[in-house]
Chains A and B, each alone.
Chain A
């Protein structure tokens, strides 16, 4: 009965996933505290802890921690976790490890939708609603263009995503030029580059709730997500209505992406790199892959956000630029690796 002591989901020995989760949680905690302490103004760790627990005296340092850095670090957690979660799910939906909300144009769709709502001044639709419609449309377009089943190759998928991204960024530029108001410029630039600066407590709860709900729902769907990896025929023979399931999860993924993009702009490559690394650590079974991806994504973006403040201090670079600088080469490496190991990629 050797299987009893194995983790049945992964076939790997049982302590491995626990260890991975513990290490990621430790990295997240350390990165989180560093994110609160470091920056243009250094806040000593005792003062950070004091501000967090509310025991320190009110002052400029405590204000920096609780009003500026804490909401920003929490936003980094939510956005990082969400992007990695959506990336992992998209990779299963299109059965391709090169999927990511940014690469597939979903993030661009969301920002174009949000910008459109902003520029047109439509008050009936909230910004997130525009972002949701934009992301869903982009996802459906990419999926339709890339073809389904065996017709969907890596090349077609990535090219479709790139094409949609071009079209959408052209639309955003057009809106920018046509927009009569100058203050839209900053907002549009923010959505295009992706950043966590200017995070406020008031905008934190909505994406956090959406992420929480999305995480719970997707964890509940871990089993059918696994079945998608068996291919169209296999999934059907195993009792999954693939068309209906895909459509439902597409909507869910677009929804989560939309709420993330509304508050952070289009931050690329987190959803590509983190699930991939998570899969190497704990295997492809979604019951473990999803929580590990979410935790890893949170840790990654918290650390990346700290990097944007430290690397070019006192200037601050948008976090989307940093993730693209690390994610671009990673993507190229994945492509190269895929060519050598064609079975795993196409």
Chain B
């Protein structure tokens, strides 16, 4: 199944070097560096305003960084045009406004655009890819409904189908589990973790990040402050330092993943 979306594109290696971005005198990214190996699922965590979204937007090309480079398989993406970049990098952004009554299928079919000239219509191959993508994300039964009428979880599946129809070498997702209930969060992340494509996703829920991601990066004030496998990154000290919360980090007896239990009452020492 994944081979279909690979479609000749093998998963890419992503390397982000010293990325800087500022708005006015606010430095949103301050030399952020990150590596994702081919096929890896890499989680990006950090507090609100730590720069997660900005970093992802620089990677999928909605923002042009002030400094630093984004390398895909060693090639600088800044030298790519918007379209060639979109053939390699797909994104599920947070904003997904109204769509004027486009159906879910039409929204998913937009994923074929980077592979097409403007005036070139979709052919049967494109339609098959879109249909397969919708099926893979479980959005096939919604395909004929207006996108605007879908629930949050259904919209996410449709947007993920759109990204898969792009046949990307790298998939970037900005808090894809936002507004989803537990069941849909698990479904979506299971789906992502099973993709052959390299995935980089910003996540809020540390337990989900710990379970589903191969490696985690912790962003704080526009800088990477920790990286590594979840069991090494998620420590009580780090949570105190970055999030300013007291927490107990254990290891789940059946999944083996680190588990974070927040302890209310009183700020942690070292918290900012």
A contact residues vs B (CB 8 Å cutoff) = 1, 3-4, 8-12, 91-92, 95, 97, 150, 219-224, 226-227, 229-234, 236-241, 279, 283-285, 287, 343-346
User: Which chain A residues lie closer than 8 Å to B102 at the CB level?
Assistant: 226, 229, 283-285
B144 touches A11 (CB 8 A): yes
Assuming the contacts A238-B110, A238-B166, asked whether A95 and B118 have C-beta atoms less than 8 A apart, the reply is no
B100 touches A9 (CB 8 A): no
A230 touches B107 (CB 8 A): yes
A10 touches B61 (CB 8 A): no
**Known pairs A237-B62, A284-B101. 12 more at Cβ < 8 A?**
A9-B122, A10-B103, A95-B100, A226-B110, A231-B97, A234-B159, A237-B90, A238-B162, A239-B84, A240-B113, A284-B99, A344-B100
B131 touches A3 (CB 8 A): yes
Which 10 A-B pairs have CB atoms at the shortest separation, nearest pair first?
Answer: A239-B86, A233-B93, A237-B91, A239-B114, A239-B83, A284-B100, A220-B119, A236-B62, A11-B103, A11-B105
A10 touches B106 (CB 8 A): yes
Assuming the contacts A234-B93, A239-B86, asked whether A224 and B118 have C-beta atoms less than 8 A apart, the reply is yes
Quote the shortest CB–CB distance from B272 to chain A (angstroms): 29
B103 touches A239 (CB 8 A): no
A233 and B99 alpha carbons, distance in the complex (Å): 13
User: Which chain B residues lie closer than 8 Å to A287 at the CB level?
Assistant: 121
User: Which chain A residues lie closer than 8 Å to B128 at the CB level?
Assistant: 1, 3
A326 and B143 alpha carbons, distance in the complex (Å): 36
Quote the shortest CB–CB distance from A65 to chain B (angstroms): 39
Quote the shortest CB–CB distance from B136 to chain A (angstroms): 15
A145 and B86 alpha carbons, distance in the complex (Å): 31
Per a CB cutoff under 8 Å, which of B90, B99, B118 touches A223?
Answer: B118
Assuming the contacts A8-B122, A10-B106, A11-B143, asked whether A236 and B82 have C-beta atoms less than 8 A apart, the reply is yes
A233 touches B114 (CB 8 A): no
Per a CB cutoff under 8 Å, which of A10, A234, A239 touches B87?
Answer: A239
A41 and B48 alpha carbons, distance in the complex (Å): 73
User: Which chain B residues lie closer than 8 Å to A223 at the CB level?
Assistant: 113, 116, 118-120
User: Which chain B residues lie closer than 8 Å to A345 at the CB level?
Assistant: 98
A-B residue pairs in contact (CB < 8 Å), sample of 6: A95-B98, A221-B118, A230-B110, A231-B93, A238-B110, A283-B102
A237 touches B93 (CB 8 A): yes
Does B249 reach chain A (CB closer than 8 Å)?
A: no
Task: Kindly identify, within residues 61 to 78 of chain B, every residue whose CB is under 8 Å from any CB belonging to chain A.
Answer: 61-62
A346 and B148 alpha carbons, distance in the complex (Å): 12
User: Which chain B residues lie closer than 8 Å to A233 at the CB level?
Assistant: 57, 62, 91, 93-95
A231 touches B96 (CB 8 A): yes
B62 touches A232 (CB 8 A): yes
B97 touches A95 (CB 8 A): yes
Q: Closest B residue to A225 by CB, please name it.
A: B118
A226 and B105 alpha carbons, distance in the complex (Å): 13
B100 touches A8 (CB 8 A): no
B124 touches A4 (CB 8 A): yes
Quote the shortest CB–CB distance from A49 to chain B (angstroms): 38
B127 touches A8 (CB 8 A): yes
Quote the shortest CB–CB distance from B97 to chain A (angstroms): 4
Does B204 reach chain A (CB closer than 8 Å)?
A: no
A309 and B90 alpha carbons, distance in the complex (Å): 56
User: Which chain A residues lie closer than 8 Å to B101 at the CB level?
Assistant: 279, 283-284, 344
A283 and B131 alpha carbons, distance in the complex (Å): 19
A237 touches B60 (CB 8 A): yes
User: Which chain A residues lie closer than 8 Å to B89 at the CB level?
Assistant: 237
